[in-house]
Amino acid sequence: MQTKTVTIPAISCGHCVMTIEREVGALPGVKSVKADEHTRKVVVEWDEPATWDAIEELLVEIDYAPQE
């Protein structure tokens, strides 16, 4: 299992958190997604077939581009 923590400056409310957790969590292979509106941090854990590139691409697509 792989884990990555990123900052997403666009997180501003609970709706943002729910959107990120729902959308990223729906990707095959993603085991958990925890977003925090106060720290603007997102922690993602995944196994194959998910890849960080696919997760990051989805975040950009839904307007929550991460900063590493």
Of 49, 16, 44, the C-alpha closest to 31 is 44
Maximum Cα–Cα distance for the chain, whole Å? 30
How many structural domains comprise the chain?
1
Output the domain CATH number for residue 17: 3.30.70.100
Residue 66 lies in a domain: no
Residue 68 lies in a domain: no
Q: pTM of the prediction?
A: 0.92
Distance (Å, whole) CA 32 – CA 12: 21
Q: What is the pLDDT of residues 16-56, one digit of tens each?
A: 999 999 999 999 999 999 999 999 999 999 999 999 999 99
Of 49, 59, 51, 48, the C-alpha closest to 8 is 59
Residue 68 CB neighbour total at 10 angstroms: 8
